[in-house]
Amino acid sequence: MEIPAGVVLLSREGGQDLAGHLREAGFAVTVVSEPESVPPGVVILDLVRPEQAREWLHEKTDLPRILRARGNTVVAVVTPDTFEDDRNAIGVSGAHSYILRDDPPRSVRATVLAAVSRRDQDERLRKSEERYRLLAENAGDVIWTWDLRAKAYEYISPSILRLRGLTVEEALAEDMRESMTPESYGRAMDALRAGLESLARGVRPAPITDKYDQPCKDGSVKTVEITTSVIYDEAGAPTHVLGVSRDATERVRSQEALESALRRSELLFRELEHRVKNTLAMIASLLSLASDHVRDPEDAVLFEESQSRIQALSLVYDRLLRSSDVARIELGSYLEDLCRSVTSAFIRNAGGVDLRVDRDEVTVNSKRAALVGLAVNELVTNALKYARKPGAVLSLGLSVRGSEDSLTVRFSDDGPGMPEGFRAEDAEGLGFLLIRSLVSQLGGEFTVETGVPGAAFRITLPSET
């Protein structure tokens, strides 16, 4: 701290003896007789005689506070007699500090330096309070404090007028019960009790943000989002609740309207899925009826394959209807159901199918599920047509594996396998053409494994972005 080079002695009687005393303390002293002549800096107010104290303090109505407001460090020089009446005592209390007339020079110097430090602290505090008040009184949100001991509002910023139509005075006069609807007041008190119980256990509660309904002066009710936290004294005891209130009425209305629109959209989407599923089922039934009148066995197979493809699509919509997510499907269980549905439809003569499934839980969008399902449907159909041996059990394998980068679906059978030199990319059958087209739409790769018993196929897709 910078040591002041000098002080101003404010004394109406010249105060030369007091000036000498201050010079002994190491200060350069300037003596003035009128408060208006005091420059900024350290001022020593001569209140040694009680009558002089009355003259200074009563005439100027608390002179130390006036000087402090002008930026001076105020030190009052007193004797015990200075405090003969209460008004003198109150006036002297406005100084940063005081010294006795007969204090030794070292004590005088220490007191003056301590007073300068206190003035600097007061100035920093004043500026901090000004900044806070500027923020609080010009913020759009309402800033308020509630005294836990008095159970009353202590401060409310002027923006309460814009929020609820109340003046600051009207809002401060309200009890908290009056400032909220009964249901909101009950929830607020429950939150307060929970916070105090947490403090009793030694745990300071975190700030809480919730929405409450508050009545306005015009009789309307607004939904207000309030964030509250607890203020503590130096001993750590809770003293106040600090709150920041923000009008959330329109935001809540918009959110409710959006949620209502989303619910309507979901209902419409469900209805659309239901109708598509019913339409596909109707088409499959018509194909089944028509297949009963087909005389050529090869044509009957085409009808069966068409029914199977439609069933694969129908199963996608059935899954969506039973899912909590209207746009995504758990792929492994869908493909397992699809394989079992296809095999049960194709088995007409002796023998059975043993389907072994090994799958991760992988969720994909409905489009991807439909395309993969159609591809797997072709593989299952081909296996049932070409890999089965009359009277023997056909073993099929389905594997679904997902990672951060890719999705792999593997299908296999224990039939005679693919012809020597078979290449999936060159196969011209309708089933393989369809598989390659479906996988290509997904940006994936379709391969045939070699060196394994029977036939094995692999569909590899990039992960969803």
Q: Please tell me whether residues 361 and 303 are part of one structural domain.
A: yes
Domain count, the chain: 3
In a domain, 454, yes or no: yes
Q: Please tell me whether residues 156 and 278 are part of one structural domain.
A: no
In a domain, 379, yes or no: yes
Query: Is residue 394 within 8 Å of 425, Cβ to Cβ?
Result: no
What local confidence, expressed as pLDDT, does residue 330 receive? Answer: 86
In a domain, 257, yes or no: yes
Q: What is the mean pLDDT of residues 457-464?
A: 90
In a domain, 416, yes or no: yes
Q: β-strands 208-215, 221-232: how paired?
A: antiparallel
Name the residue range of residue 234's domain: 139-247
What CATH number has the domain bearing residue 153?
A: 3.30.450.20
Cα–Cα distance, 455 to 430 (Å, whole number):
18
Is pLDDT above 50 for 364? Answer: yes
Query: pLDDT band at 323, cuts 50/70/90?
Result: low
Query: Is residue 78 within 8 Å of 50, Cβ to Cβ?
Result: no
In a domain, 148, yes or no: yes
Q: Please tell me whether residues 109 and 201 are part of one structural domain.
A: no
Q: What is the mean pLDDT of residues 44-50?
A: 82
Q: Please tell me whether residues 404 and 436 are part of one structural domain.
A: yes
What local confidence, expressed as pLDDT, does residue 170 receive? Answer: 94
Q: What is the pLDDT of residues 241-281, one digit of tens each?
A: 999 999 988 887 787 777 777 777 666 656 655 666 666 56
Cα–Cα distance, 193 to 210 (Å, whole number):
15
Q: Is the dihedral of CA 372, 373, 377, 380 positive or negative?
A: positive
Tokens of 154: 């202590």
Other Cβ atoms less than 10 A from the Cβ of 385: the count is 14
Cα–Cα distance, 302 to 94 (Å, whole number):
105
Q: Please tell me whether residues 257 and 230 are part of one structural domain.
A: no
In a domain, 129, yes or no: yes
Q: What is the mean pLDDT of residues 324-353?
A: 74
In a domain, 156, yes or no: yes
In a domain, 1, yes or no: no
Q: What is the mean pLDDT of residues 354-367?
A: 89
What CATH number has the domain bearing residue 354?
A: 3.30.565.10
Chosen domain end from 247, 266, 297: 247
Tokens of 149: 């001991």
Cα–Cα distance, 28 to 109 (Å, whole number):
12
Q: Please tell me whether residues 66 and 115 are part of one structural domain.
A: yes
Chosen domain end from 200, 224, 247: 247
What local confidence, expressed as pLDDT, does residue 272 receive? Answer: 59
Name the DSSP class of 373.
Answer: H
What local confidence, expressed as pLDDT, does residue 68 receive? Answer: 83
What local confidence, expressed as pLDDT, does residue 178 receive? Answer: 93
Q: Please tell me whether residues 384 and 350 are part of one structural domain.
A: yes
Which residues on adjacent β-strands are paired with residue 407? Answer: 402, 461
Phi and psi torsions of 221, nearest 5°: -125, 130
Q: What is the mean pLDDT of residues 391-409?
A: 90
What CATH number has the domain bearing residue 106?
A: 3.40.50.2300
Q: Please tell me whether residues 447 and 360 are part of one structural domain.
A: yes
Q: What is the mean pLDDT of residues 65-70?
A: 84
Q: Please tell me whether residues 116 and 215 are part of one structural domain.
A: no
Q: Tell me the whole-structure pTM to 2 decimals.
A: 0.42
The label of the residue with tokens 């044509």 reads 299
Q: Please tell me whether residues 274 and 300 are part of one structural domain.
A: yes
What local confidence, expressed as pLDDT, does residue 3 receive? Answer: 44
Q: What is the pLDDT of residues 10-23, one digit of tens each?
A: 787 767 788 888 88
Q: Please tell me whether residues 115 and 212 are part of one structural domain.
A: no
Query: pLDDT band at 374, cuts 50/70/90?
Result: confident
Closest CA to 408 of 379, 451, 446: 446
Q: What is the pLDDT of residues 89-125, one digit of tens each?
A: 777 888 888 888 888 888 888 888 888 887 777 777 6
Q: Mean of the per-residue pLDDT values for the chain? A: 81
Q: Please tell me whether residues 383 and 297 are part of one structural domain.
A: yes
Helix H or strand E encompassing 459 = strand 455-462
Chosen domain end from 247, 274, 309: 247
